[in-house]
Structures are given as structure tokens and as C-alpha cells.
Amino acid sequence: MTTSTKEKIVLAYSGGLDTSVAIPWLMDKGYDVIAVVLDVGQGGKDLDAIQKKGLAVGAIESIVIDAKDEFADEYVAPVILSNALYEGSYPLVSALSRPLIIKKLVEIAHENDAHAIAHGSTGKGNDQVRFEAAIHALDPNLAIEAPIRDFHWSREEEIDYAKDHGVPVPIGKASPYSIDANLWGRANEAGILENPWNQAPDDAWGMTVDPQDAPDEAQFIDLDFENGLPVAIDGQAMKLSVLIQELNVIAGKHGIGRIDKIENRLVGIKSREVYEAPAAAVIMTAHKDLEDLTLERDVAHYKPIVEHQITDLIYNGMWISPLFDALMSFVVTTQAVVNGKVKLKLYKGSVQAVARQSEHNSLYNEQLATYTAADSFDQIAAAGFIKLWSLPTMVYEQVNHVHSDKLED
Amino acid sequence: MTTSTKEKIVLAYSGGLDTSVAIPWLMDKGYDVIAVVLDVGQGGKDLDAIQKKGLAVGAIESIVIDAKDEFADEYVAPVILSNALYEGSYPLVSALSRPLIIKKLVEIAHENDAHAIAHGSTGKGNDQVRFEAAIHALDPNLAIEAPIRDFHWSREEEIDYAKDHGVPVPIGKASPYSIDANLWGRANEAGILENPWNQAPDDAWGMTVDPQDAPDEAQFIDLDFENGLPVAIDGQAMKLSVLIQELNVIAGKHGIGRIDKIENRLVGIKSREVYEAPAAAVIMTAHKDLEDLTLERDVAHYKPIVEHQITDLIYNGMWISPLFDALMSFVVTTQAVVNGKVKLKLYKGSVQAVARQSEHNSLYNEQLATYTAADSFDQIAAAGFIKLWSLPTMVYEQVNHVHSDKLED
Amino acid sequence: MTTSTKEKIVLAYSGGLDTSVAIPWLMDKGYDVIAVVLDVGQGGKDLDAIQKKGLAVGAIESIVIDAKDEFADEYVAPVILSNALYEGSYPLVSALSRPLIIKKLVEIAHENDAHAIAHGSTGKGNDQVRFEAAIHALDPNLAIEAPIRDFHWSREEEIDYAKDHGVPVPIGKASPYSIDANLWGRANEAGILENPWNQAPDDAWGMTVDPQDAPDEAQFIDLDFENGLPVAIDGQAMKLSVLIQELNVIAGKHGIGRIDKIENRLVGIKSREVYEAPAAAVIMTAHKDLEDLTLERDVAHYKPIVEHQITDLIYNGMWISPLFDALMSFVVTTQAVVNGKVKLKLYKGSVQAVARQSEHNSLYNEQLATYTAADSFDQIAAAGFIKLWSLPTMVYEQVNHVHSDKLED
Amino acid sequence: MTTSTKEKIVLAYSGGLDTSVAIPWLMDKGYDVIAVVLDVGQGGKDLDAIQKKGLAVGAIESIVIDAKDEFADEYVAPVILSNALYEGSYPLVSALSRPLIIKKLVEIAHENDAHAIAHGSTGKGNDQVRFEAAIHALDPNLAIEAPIRDFHWSREEEIDYAKDHGVPVPIGKASPYSIDANLWGRANEAGILENPWNQAPDDAWGMTVDPQDAPDEAQFIDLDFENGLPVAIDGQAMKLSVLIQELNVIAGKHGIGRIDKIENRLVGIKSREVYEAPAAAVIMTAHKDLEDLTLERDVAHYKPIVEHQITDLIYNGMWISPLFDALMSFVVTTQAVVNGKVKLKLYKGSVQAVARQSEHNSLYNEQLATYTAADSFDQIAAAGFIKLWSLPTMVYEQVNHVHSDKLED
């Protein structure tokens, strides 16, 4: 609990230059700043040092929260169950942490009687929407500050401002990239990537080796699922947050999970993005494969339509929305039977399901599928089926001759 | 033109044991048999020999038709434009040749005054539906014979029948697999694959090397597209049927295009299938990537829904249907802008788009997307956008408190 | 419990000629017949007499079950929540009773150690699918008899058979119609209706007056909803089965709920159907109107897509299916906020919602919507919203000039 | 052609107070104003007088364009073909005229070398989006003025400003409503309607009589369609714009086409709207009914999904968009067979299709549908069909026992 007569603001803090400069900037606007960092598995960062830095540059309070389990269980899990890949390939890395960050920030604002929240997003990305839509939903009375969107500073001006306000400035040339990471993956944009005809250079990648540097031997792993979620690697049970981190190491070593794409942002522009998501690549390959074995056909064919909508909602900042909740009811209902084991082959940049089984829920029936003497399928039924199946199009052709008139005689 | 007083039947002939045995079987039923083989790029087969074999086992006429170009231009092209992958991965190899085969057989039946068509499908697969639905649509007066579905013979009985009727029987152990191929790919089922926990053995594959035996150096190729279709490899123009065959060789050498999946058949069972489609893997990766650059966002987000339906229609034997035609009108309309070049990396079993450009139709705008001083995006507009974008869910939460009541304070 | 050495069969019995003749026919096939009638509110029938008739024509047991409440609560309620109208207008009357009838028949079969079930559907309608799909799902070991489908009798032959076997034959000319009814409505087909250019004659209708004979004064009623289901008429609470029957009387008197349509049957043909569903017309009008007030926009726009699929599943006999269950999870989740009151005007064949309110869940906000001084809407935000909303199509036009090139200058 | 050194602006002019006051207001901002009125069948207005009024209050040029035929043929026709009803009931009246108005205004701007366009929409409605999105698409270089959105005036201030600038002020109490009309219908909002529990008073309606005041005799009309569009009333051919106006009179006299609804606006709020669209009610009822007779089943079941998207696009200002164009390709392809005649009954506020025929394209086949001796349907095929149709759900139940475990034994 802090005591001060000034208006308090809770800042989504990363320790980087932008959100560090934001602290004096918000102080200048009259706020007492509470800096908050969530550990969502971004890795490679000394969170203690970040916490201290927050205080050093002026925050009245600086908080680090270990949110890895909540992130995995409440935010990544729905993505796994939904096979959620934006525009067919992006596993929604950054879109997932935003609603959790805001949930924590709003709770801290309420505890501290703060009436404002600040985030470090620019004005042309998706994250500002995800942050602010979540704030509007959870507490519409909270004011919002978006200093980076409002700075209108050149890099030089920002550095001057930092120096003037005692904010440490990184030495040497700044990274050309803008990076966001959590345990579900890593997003990279800007710099040389802005030209879509440029290939992503080696230094654009951080979680995976180049497939050409990966081991020359394939690695096989077994992944166990319960109710659609992975619960064990090679028979060894572990909680989801740990399982994901393990798989990031294993699959990253094989160069798996690199994504290079042109993407449609919610704010109306196309951007070029480079992502890495090694664990996501493995888990989602296995999950889909196990669904192929256990989901009934109509469910299997309808679920992608629902998944498409869920994915867009998450990407578009609508995590907190009644449509997301209703669609997830659908998804969760389908997953009670997604139990079993998938064997995966990891080799030189790609992962493939090579075998799968489900002791209690497999709908694959060798007696029905076989071409051997064990066949129990009623082949006679097929002729009747085909007759009624094709009756509407047959009548249509008889009446309208669209295709039969085009035959060469 | 043949002359005979007996009823004529046109048989979809492959030269294999089943459809060869079908010839005397149909003769026993009182038919004069016209055997027809289409060359749809199945490869590895001596079509002349097959033509002669048809006559040798009793057909009154035996016809080979080179349909490679018609197959590529009229049947494969829609699949490319539609990114059509059944259940997310199968590029519809066999489903594509069936309507073309029937079209040719009906034309030949009409030319020869034949009133029946025979096909060699079993009673538990999809192909019987595809064959018969197409026949019903193109000429509902044609009778249909499906000898394999009606045989009810054991392997031994079939061989005895063959020997009794002068049909050559393959020497040695029969292949454990049931294979269908054309220039778009190769399907393999049955045998050891019937247990989904068995890994596909080496002899299950025919168009691709094992990725571990692929070259240690990645290969880069440029693919040019016009109106959504590939027209050149590394700047060298070629017609579609040739381009596909070239890419099968190039990509097959890198072990690309292997698919191993549990699949829902139209007839209601799950089967385990092993496919190879090297050219399809390359072309479809590139096509989707170029669409990401050239399709407007709403088109890009709606087209997958249409594609999903097109794919199911093709798989389910509804190639000749007014819904397929209407959906393809949608797709073709979207493809006028899909022009440009994609650079692909082929390496050890996987293909990835690594760069792309479109001189006249790229919607990627570096001035809008950049984070440099060249930025022309109106960042101020974003705040207003977010307010209205999130207004409905904000009001919903204000009224119903679904998520805000769950905050910890 | 019955005791007999013969094989027992449970028959879905209606008391009509067809299912009465079926009893001796099944006896001839060696069965002991257990006749079962469900009271699902079909009305106008003496169920005691039907029960006795079952025994009189030879059933070893004849059972009447009052299933009105289970029918309303478990089978009609999902239709209300889902606004389920097949092809936009048919509220699924007959499709709803079939799975309930089978559920009861299977239970009775299990209790009586019977191994077969018989139904009275023809071979060209939807009901055979609904009956048999439900039997296959609930107990695939049960044999199925479909005597009407197998009779191949002319009307005269059926009457002769009836007379020979002591089955009472209706005196005089048989009704030209084939009718099925329950508390949710009444279906009528065949006879003069088979020509779609014939108008439905007066005797085709049974639950509604001709609108021209309806009262000259409009009637207003208030319908209260809780969680999407109607619970009171004009403030008077009643259980669903009673509420529906009350509304059938009230709305039938005003000539409301007549439907005349060409319909696509699952078995591949088009049929002409005449339905009446007075209560359904009123309830579904009110339910949709209250949803307009209480559902968040994205939910309101996505739910029709889900409803479309639910409706087809029910129509197509897939009530017992995992997809239906999953889709209903979606629907039920959305209905927690559908609480309030709708005022309806009933007049001369039509029903209209004229006013609505929801004390706790209305998302209509007069302060946001008003054009008076009380306006709290941020009009400035709109300009920014429009800019980003239209950015993708603007860029598309700038690049491709599809529409701007067509301007006349 | 006008000559002036000042910057010119083209104003969408209606003759009402708001857009009349806008003329001096734009002049104050330094513009020469070109006022443009489109005749889209709004009726009840003296367009000559409006044209003169434009000049009288200061416009340098005032133009009236008869756009009724272009409006009917290019903007209303797609709505008919698409059965486009926003949220199930609103036939998109105002949303249709906006893109046409902008098309004409942009053409006039180009002819006159004007670089700006002004419209009279407020900041909380949909029309601002429709106007501005169309401008952005057709010429992104045009500046936009939205005086009403920017006024921030009370009614009294607006009247004072009008008096000061010689703009005629309506005598007496202003209408409490905000109305927009064209030949496709009439929209009314605001005033007493802002409380959803208030019933719409008599003076809210302008194109229809109260159903209770409609004729006591039903009227029957025959509507002929070609390629999905109505071409004749009772056999009398007329062009679309005239046919719609005729039907507005005929159906308006019977009180048909009143709509009272809570609607989700694109800008994020719910509003209460009262619409009248008599011709639309008749035409769309008939069109859907004729489609039921002529569209193949799969087309009939998929088209509503496409229609849903088209409707939202039109409502949301995306008329000029590649997705709209592609979806319309789908729709137009389906309409080649929608030819025939529908008989409609108009009575006391409701319209119903009571008979329909299509000489060349009816897919209704009495031989297949009949229950008489003429029956040509293969009833034996049904048993096989049902077996395969229900196989996936049967296997699912056998494995998972979801429903069979709930049976009472």
C-alpha cells in the first residue's frame, strides 16, 4: 500500500527504454507511478534488476509477478484446445499476454486506489487495442495513458529526454528489432524485415537454431494429452507451464517453429512479422493429430469454423467478450474425448506426427477400415447412400443441364 | 465406333488385377467392354502395355487418353486457387481425377452408344461416390456396374477367377498397399498402415526420399504467379502440367510433401492414409504466402471459410454441383490480384516461403508499416478506433459484470 | 414385464391405420409386439382408446406415456434458445419428437429384453432417418423394422390386409393428407398440396383460423423470459408445456403461425409442406426481439451461424450427436442474459414485437443512443474509427483501382 | 462548370435544416459550395424547390440528379438477390443510397476540380462511415467535412445561426423524428422511440397504413422473376424502379412492411429503429419462396451464410470492397435458375407466398415427392443411406456412451 496525495497510475513495465522513459514522463504529468512487470516466461531477463530499475527511474512502487502458471493454464490452454493460428500460422503469442497483464494491473489499481493505467504500445499496432479494450471492459472508469503513442519523439529526442531524467540509455547501436516474448513464443518485427523481399537474417531469431545447424539425427517424442491438453513428455508428467518450456528447448534445438509472414493487423495495415514458437509447433501438431483420431466427423469439420472466429477475437483484443466465452464453451465441450498419445518426429526444422493412439476414445475402427477378411463394413449400404447423396445435384443437372451440355460428343 | 449387338459398357481401366478381372466378369454379364485409361500423370506405368492388356483380356476396344493438361488446368488449378486441403492437410489428389475420368467415359459412352459405365472402386471408399455422383449428374440414364464392390471374393478366389479367364496374375507376393497416383500426388492406404500407431515404413513412400537422405544444402527457388496460378520456376515459364511435374522432382528430392493422417471418409469411417504431394506442398505454400501480400484483409479472412466448403465438396464427390460452381466464382474473383513472386526454401522435408513481392498488387505499404521517420500512419486515429471497437463489450461488461466480478481485489 | 419365448419388438404406435396394420404384420414375422404411444401434446386424440386399440389388434402390451413436459423442457426449449427455423421458416415440429420417442422406446426395449424396434415411417421422408439414427446411436444392437417402408402395398391391399387381420378400417374416404402433430405444431403434406401452384385449401389447416376469420381487434400480450425461455404470459407464470399450449390457443385464434413452403428433405427431394405453429411464431418472435436488446453485437452476429447448423442437425436426425451438444453449449452460454419482457401484437395472421424491456440485462443505453442533450457518446472518436475501419479497402483501391476506374469523369 | 478562386466543396444536400445551415458554415470555412441532391425515390419532396433553396442559402451551384434507375438496378438489385436483411429484418434502406450518393459526388468533384466533400451525418450513426469509407475508396485525396458532427450546437443555437445566415427555419414545433427515405423504404429514429418500451405512435409511420385500417379483403398478386429479379406484376412487365414504386403503393395500402427493432450500429451502440419497406417485404418474400423451388439443396443451405456476410458488409459501409464483389459473384452465379412466378397474398399487415411455379427451373419433382402410385423414388436406397449417414455418430456413441449412459433402465 502506498500513501501519497498525488493521483496514482499503474504502468505495464518492461524495463526497456520506452517504458522506463515513460516513468518520468508520467511523473511530469503529475502521477505517482506504480511499475508492474509480469513474468510470463519471456526469459533471458533479470526481473529483479528490472524491478529495481523501476524504482531507480522514479516509480513509487515496482512489482514483479510470477504469472507463468496462470498464463499457461488460463491463456495458452484455450489456444491449444482451439488450434488457434491467426491467418493459418501465427499462434497468437503477444495477443495472449495482454489481457492477463491488464487483469493484474486493474487488480493492482483497485488495491492501490489508482484511477489510471499506462501501457507502452505504439499507435499502429494491435497491442494498444488489446490493452485498452481489456481496460475498458474490466473498469471503464480507469483513465488510460499511452505515452509511446503520444511522445512523437525521434530516437534522439527520446535519448536526450532519458539522459535529462536519469534513465539509463543502452550503450551502442540499438537493436534494429522490436521484440516481444513469452513462454508461448517470440515476435519480431521492424528493421530489415520491413521489406518483404528481404530474407530474415540470422540475428532475427532467438529461440531456435537454424535448421541446417540442427542435429543430423531425428528425435522422436511421445506427447500425452488429457481433455485436449498436453500432460506428459515421453511419459513424464509435468504441469503445462513447465511442459511448454521443456518443449521450447527440445524443439528449438531442432530449428522448429520459425514463422515468416505478412500479416493483417487490426488497425488496417499489413506488416511483416517473424515469429518463433517451438513448443507451440509441436503441441499444436500433436493436438490436431489426436483430434483427427478422436473427434466425430461433423465436430471435426465444424470446429475449424469456430476456431477461425476464436482466433480472430483473440488477435483483435476481444479476449474479454461474451462471444469468446460462448465459443470456448463449444470448444471445451468437444475436448472431453481428446485423450491419448501422439508420437512426433523432430528433424531439421519440421515436426510431424508419425503415430497416434487413444485407449478409450479412438473412433478409428480397424474392423470397419480394413480391406482384409476382418471387414465388418456394410458395402451394400453404399449404393443406396450414393443415390440419395447425389439426388439433389442429379435433379439439378437433369433440369438445368449446366455440365452435361458441355460434354463433347 | 464399334459394332456389336451386345450391350456396351465403358470401363474405367487401370491395367491392375482388379479392373482386368472386371473385364471377363462384365463379359459374363453380357457386356461388350470398352476399356479406357486416362493419363493424368500417374507416372511409372507403360500406358501402351496397359492398352494392349485391355484388349488381351477381352475388351472390344481399349483407349488411352492423354488428359494431363486438362487435368492440370481444369481440376488441379481450382485446388491451388482455393488452398484446398481436406481436414487441413490432404490436397485432394484422388478426388480430382474422378470427375475428369467420368467426363471422358460418359463422352465415350455417348459416342459408342453405350448405356453403362463400370468403375473399379470398393464399397467402403470415397471414390465410388465420386464416380457415381458424376455419372448420375452427367447422364442419369447410364447404368452403373461396380464389380469390385460386388465381387465378394477373397484374394485367392480372385486369382483363381483370373487364371480361369486368362487374366495375367502378378508373380510373387502382392503389394500390401492400395495406391492411387496422378501428377498432383500419390495416395497409399491399407496394409500395415491400418494400425495408426504403426509408423509408415519406407516402402510406403514412392515420390519422395526420406528427409534424412535429402541433400544437406537447402535449395532456393522462385515461383511466379499470375492470377493465382504458378507460371514459372526461377523465371522459366512453363505450362501448369509441366510445372507441377518439375516441382514433383525438385521437391521430392528434398523429401517434401509427406502426409500421414487419420481421415474422415464420406462413407462414415475413419481411415489412415499416407500421401505424398511434393509439388502441391511447394505451390500451396507459395500461393498462400502471395495471397497474404495481395488479398485485402476481409477477403483474406473470409476466403478460408469458402475454401473449407469447396474442399469438402470436392472430397465428397460434388465436383459437378451448382454450389461448387458458385463458390469457385467467389474464388476466381479474388485471384485477379494474386500476381507476383515467392522465394521458397526447400530443405530436409520442409518448404518455407522466405521472401515475396508483387510489383503491381502488393498491399503491403512500407510507409504505413514502418517504425522509422517515413511513417505515414495516423496514430491519433487509433484511440478513437479502439473506443468504438470495444464499446459493445464494454457496455456488456458494465451491465453484466461477467469478467470484472472475477477480479481479485 | 411381459413373458414370452418369442422375440419382442417395441413399436412406435400412433393408433392410425398404418401402425395398426404393422402389428399383425410384425406378428407374422414372429414378433411379440409392445405398442408405445407418447403423448407429446398432439391433441385431439383419445390416447386411452389408442392404448386399447393396440391391444385389440394384437400387441402383447400397449403403453401410453405422458411425455409433454419432457418434450417441452428437453426438446422444444433448445429450439427456442436457438431460434431454430429450418430453411428460415419451419420450426422443426416433427423433427423434435423423434429422438424423444426413440429414447423412450429404447428404454422400454431394455426393460423388456426386446431386441428390435419398429417405426411407421415411409422410405422417402426424414423421419426414418431421425428414428433410425437415434436407434443406432442409443443401442446399435437393436434390430430395426420399418414395415411401412417395406409394405409396397397399394391402399386397397393395405385395407384388405387390415380386414383379414381384424384391424379396424376408417369408414368413408380417407383423409388426403399425412399429418403429424405435437404441442410445438402440426405438419401436413401430400394430397392436393403436391402441386406447388395449388393454394392450400381450408381443410389443410387444423390449429389456426383463417386470418380473415380472426378477431377484428388486435390482442396484446406480454411474454416474460428467463435465460432465454418464456416463463409467463401477461405476468402469469406457468411451466413451458402449459405456456406453449396456452399460446397455441391464443395465437391460433388470430390465425397466426401458418407456413406454406417448398422444403429440401435430407433424402434428396423437394417436398411441399404446410405447417402450423402458433405458439412457436409468438415465442420465437419475442425471443429474437429480446435477444436484440440483450445480446452483445458480436454474439448477436455470430449466433445465427451456429443456429443455422443446429437447425440442420436437428432436421437431419442428428439430435444425438457430439456436434449438437457442443453447439448447444455455445447457445446456452449466450442465454444467461436473455431476461426481460416483450409486448406482442397479435392481429389477423401476424405477430409483431412492439415493445421490450430488460431490467437487468438491457444493453440499450439511452444516454449513448439519444440525440438530445443527454448524449454521452464520444462523436470525435468516430473519425478515427472510420479511418482505420476503411484503411484496408482504401489501400486496395489505391493499388488496384477496381471501382475508382469506373467513375465517369 | 464553375469558376472561382476559392476551394470548392461538393455537399450531399437534402434541403433540410441541417444541410442548409451547413452551406453558410462551409462558406465561413472558405469554401465555394456545390450542393447536390440525388433523387433516389425519397418521394414527397419538391426537388426543384430544394435545388432553388440550395442556391438561395449560398451554394454557387445546386444540382438535382435523377438516380432512381441506377439506384434500383445497381444498389437495390443486389439486396434482392442476396435476401439481405440486417439482423434478420432490416432491408438496408439507407445503407444502399450512401455509396451511390458518394459515387455521384466524387464524379462532380472531379468535374469541378473540387478537392473536398461534405456530408450531413452525425458522429454516432452508420451513415458517416458509409459516406467516408466510400470517399476514401474512390478518391483518398479528397478532404472530408462533416459539419453536423462538428457543430456541437443545441437546437436553439442552430436556429439562431440559421436566422443570422438567411437560412429558412421551419415554422412551429420541429418533427421529433429523424427520417431517411428512398424507393426501397423509410427509416425513422429518435424522439419517443428512444425508449424501447414505448410503442411506435401513429405519426412514426409514413409509407403504410395501420393494418387495422387496411382493406378487409385480401389482395392476391403474381410476381414474375428473371434471374432472381422481379420483372412483372400480374403479368405486366415494368422496369425495377417502377415495379418497386408500384409495390410500395399496393403493399403500403395493406399495411405491409412495418419493422420495429433494436439494432446494433457499427459505431458500437444499440439504437431503436422503425422502418417501413412495403415493396421490399413483398419482393423478398417472393424471391426467397422462388429460390426454395429452384435452388439446389446445398446452394440453398450455403447461400444464407454468404448473405449474412454481404448484409453486414453493406450495413457497415463496405459496399466498395473486394469482399463484397467476390461474394456477389457467388450470388449472381446462383441466380441464373431463379426464374418463375410467385403468387402472394396481401392482407392486414402481412404478405405470404401461397403458390409458386417455375416452368424451366423447378427442382420440385412430383414423381419423386408424391405418395401416390406415380412414385418414382427408390425407397430401398434409404436404408443404406441412413446407415452411412449415422455411422460416425453411432461409432462415437459406441466408444464414448455420452447419451446411451443417460438412458433410464
What DSSP assignment string belongs to C21-39? HHHHHHHHTTEEEEEEEEE
pLDDT tens across A34-47, in order? 999 999 999 877 89
| D137/C383 CB distance under 8 A | no
Domain boundary among D176, D203, D219: D176
Mean predicted confidence (pLDDT) in C299-316: 98
Q: How many structural domains is chain B composed of?
A: 3
User: Which among B6, B7, B10 is positioned nearest to B23, based on CA atoms?
Assistant: B10
Q: Is residue C310 part of a domain?
A: no
| Chain D residues lying within 8 Å of B390, measured CB to CB | 268
| Same domain (yes/no): D136, D32 | yes
Nearest chain D Cα distance for residue C35, angstroms: 18
User: Quick check: B349 and A354 CB within 8 A?
Assistant: no
What pLDDT, on the 0 to 100 scale, is given for residue A7? 95
Cβ(B227)–Cβ(B295) under 8 Å? no
> Rounded to a whole number, what is the distance in Å from the CA of D368 to chain B's nearest CA?
15
**Which residue reads 528430392 in cell numbers?**
B253
Q: What residues of B are annotated to the active site?
A: 18, 98, 127, 178
| Contact (CB, 8 A) for A231 and A223 | no
Give me the mean pLDDT over the C229-242 stretch: 98
Residue A4 has a pLDDT of 64
pLDDT tens-digit readout, A72-118: 999 999 999 999 999 999 999 999 999 999 999 999 999 999 999 99
Binary contact (D296, A380; C-beta < 8 A): no
The CATH number of whichever domain residue B21 belongs to comes to 3.40.50.620
Q: How confident is the model at residue D371 (pLDDT cuts 50, 70, 90)?
A: low
Query: Is residue D151 located within the same domain as residue D244?
Result: no
Strands C143-145 and C116-118: parallel
Please say whether the dihedral angle defined by the alpha carbons of residues A151, A154, A158 and A164, taken in this order, is positive or negative.
negative
For residue B268, give the C-alpha cell: 462414415
Q: Which amino acid is at D370?
A: T
pLDDT of residue B374: 62
Strand partners, A344: A221, A353
> How far is C290 from chain A, CA to nearest CA, in Å?
17
- The CA distance from D8 to D116, in Å, is 7
Do C166 and C97 fall within a single domain?
yes
Crossing angle (nearest 10°) for helices C17-28 and C47-56: 30
Same domain? A254 vs A387: no
B269 vs D contacts (CB less than 8 Å): 391, 395
Other beta carbons within 10 Å of B360: 10
pLDDT of D153 strictly over 80: no
Phi, psi dihedrals of residue B297, rounded to the nearest 5°: -55, -50
Indicate if D82 belongs to the active site.
no
Which residues 317-356 of chain B have a CB within 8 Å of chain D? Answer: 318, 321-323, 325-327, 329-334, 337
DSSP-derived pairing of the beta strands C31-39 and C143-145: unpaired
CB contacts of A305 in chain C (<8 Å) are 305
C-alpha cell at C406: 469506373
Mean pLDDT of all residues belonging to chain B: 93
Residues D184 and D204 reside in one and the same domain: yes
Is pLDDT above 80 for D218?
yes
Could you say which of D73, D139, D149, D178 is catalytic? Answer: D178
- Cβ atoms of B37 and B63 within 8 Å: the answer is yes
Asked if D199 and D80 sit in the same domain, the reply is no
pLDDT exceeds 50 at position A51: yes
> Once rounded to an integer, what is the mean pLDDT over residues C388-396?
90
Mean pLDDT value of segment B94-118? 97
ipTM above 0.90, yes or no: yes
Summarised one tens digit per residue, pLDDT across range D289-347 is: 999 999 999 999 999 999 999 999 999 999 999 999 999 999 999 999 999 999 999 99
C381 contacts in chain B (CB < 8 Å): 383-385, 387-388
Determine whether the interchain pair B381/C395 forms a contact, defined as Cβ–Cβ distance below 8 Å. Answer: no
Task: List, for residues B339-363, the tens digit of each pLDDT value.
Answer: 999 999 999 999 999 999 999 999 9
Determine what percent of chain A is predicted with pLDDT higher than 70. 96
Judge whether A247 is annotated as a binding position. no
Concatenating the DSSP letter of every residue in D195-251 gives: STTSPPPGGG-SSS--GGGS-SS-EEEEEEEETTEEEEETTEE--HHHHHHHHHHHH
Residues C71 and C136 grouped into a single domain: yes
DSSP C232-286: EETTEE--HHHHHHHHHHHHHHTT--EEEEEEE-TTS-EEEEEEE-HHHHHHHHH
- Whether B399 and B262 share a structural domain: no
Cβ distance of A388 and D381 shorter than 8 Å: yes
Is D178 annotated to bind a ligand? Reply is yes
For the record, the C-alpha cell of A324 comes out as 469468446
One-letter amino acid of A135: I
How confident is the model over C392-409, as a mean pLDDT? Answer: 88
Q: Count the neighbouring beta carbons within 10 Å of the beta carbon of residue D234.
A: 10
Q: Of C21, C26, C17, C49, give the one whose Cα is nearest residue C114.
A: C26
pLDDT value, residue C132: 95
A20 within domain boundaries: yes
Q: Residues C78-86: what's their mean pLDDT? A: 98
Q: Helix (H, G, I), strand (E, B), or coil: what is residue D262?
A: strand
Q: What would the mean pLDDT of C10-14 be, rounded to a whole number?
A: 96
Residue C325 is assigned to a structural domain of this protein? no
**For testing the chain A interface, which of B75, B371, B376 should be mutated: the one with the most A CBs within 10 Å?**
B371
Residues A26 and A130 grouped into a single domain: yes
Q: What is the DSSP letter of D2?
A: -
**Beta-carbon separation of A393 and D361 below 8 A:** no
Q: Cβ contacts of residue D274 below 8 Å, gap of 6+?
A: D187, D188, D189, D193, D200, D204, D205, D258, D259, D260
pLDDT band for A153, please (50, 70, 90 cuts): confident
- Selected residue of C386, C388, C389 to mutate for chain D interface (largest D Cβ count, 10 A): C386
Residue D154 and residue D194 in one domain:
no
> Final residue of a domain: which of A174, A193, A226?
A174
Structural domain includes residue B314: no
Residues in chain A with CB shorter than 8 Å from the CB of B352 are: 258, 260, 349
Task: Single out the residue of D355, D377, D354 nearest to residue D365, CA to CA.
Answer: D377
Residues 260-299 of D with CB under 8 A from B: 264, 267-269, 295-296, 298-299
Altogether, the residues listed in chain C come to a count of 409
List pLDDT tens digits, range A205-252: 999 999 999 999 999 999 999 999 999 999 999 999 999 999 999 999
> For residue C300, what is the nearest residue in chain B, using CA coordinates?
B392
Residue B245 resides in a domain: yes
Q: Are A325 and B402 in contact (CB under 8 A)?
A: yes
Higher pLDDT, C140 or C409: C140
Whether residue A10 has pLDDT greater than 80: yes
- The per-residue pLDDT for range C95-125, each reduced to its tens digit, is 999 999 999 999 999 999 999 999 999 888 9
C172-195 pLDDT, tens digit each: 666 778 889 999 999 988 778 889
Round to whole Å and give the CA distance between B301 and B299: 5
Amino acid present at B184: W
Please give the grid coordinates belonging to residue C22.
404393422
The lowest-confidence range among A347-351, C16-20, D76-80, D96-100 is C16-20
The yes-or-no verdict on residue A372 having pLDDT over 70 is no
Give yes or no: residues B131 and B240 share one domain.
Answer: no
C300 neighbourhood in chain B, CB within 8 Å: none
D305 and B302 within 8 Å at the Cβ level: the answer is no
> Quick check: A371 and B146 CB within 8 A?
no
Label residue A123 by pLDDT band (50, 70, 90).
Answer: confident
Cβ atoms < 10 Å from Cβ of C341: 18
| Spatial CB neighbours of D338, under 8 Å, sequence gap ≥ 6 | D225, D227, D228, D287, D290, D291, D294, D295, D361
Q: Do C139 and D377 touch (CB under 8 A)?
A: no
User: Region D29-49: what's the mean pLDDT?
Assistant: 93
A178 is in an annotated binding site: yes
Contacts of C380 in chain B (CB under 8 A): 384
- The pLDDT assigned to B1 comes to 47
- Minimum Cα–Cα distance from C393: chain D residue: D321
Q: What is the pLDDT of residues B161-172, one digit of tens each?
A: 999 999 988 776
Sequence-ordered list of residues with C-beta below 8 angstroms from that of C71, at least 6 positions apart, any chain: C38, C40, C41, C96, C97, C100, C182, C183, C184, C241
What are the backbone angles phi and psi of residue A272, rounded to the nearest 5°? -105, 125
D20 is known to lie in a ligand binding site: yes
How far from the centroid of its chain's Cα atoms is residue C310's Cα? Answer: 12
Summarize the confidence of residues C9-36 as an average pLDDT: 95
Looking at the domain assignment, is residue D401 inside a domain?
A: yes
Residue C1 has pLDDT above 60, yes or no: no
Question: What is residue D1's predicted lDDT score, i.e. its pLDDT?
Answer: 47
Report the gap between the CA of C215 and the closest CA in chain A (Å). Answer: 43
Could you give the CA distance from residue C121 to residue C134 in angstroms, rounded to a whole number? 14
Residues D20, D57 contacting (CB under 8 angstroms): yes
What is the domain range of residue B106? 7-174
Is C35 domain-assigned?
yes
- pLDDT score at D113: 96
Is there a catalytic annotation at residue C224? no
User: How many C-beta atoms lie closer than 10 Å to residue C173's C-beta?
Assistant: 6
Residue A407: left if φ>0, alpha if ψ -120 to 50, beta else—which one? beta
Whole-model pTM: value is: 0.96
Based on the domain organization, do B345 and B249 belong to the same domain? yes
Is C303 part of a structural domain of the chain? no
Q: What angle do CA B282, B284, B286 make, to 5 degrees?
A: 70
Give the domain CATH number at C394: 1.20.5
Q: Quick check: B360 contacting C, CB < 8 Å?
A: yes
pLDDT value of position C118: 97
Q: 10 Å Cβ neighbour count for D236?
A: 11
Q: Which pLDDT band holds residue C154 (cuts at 50, 70, 90)?
A: confident
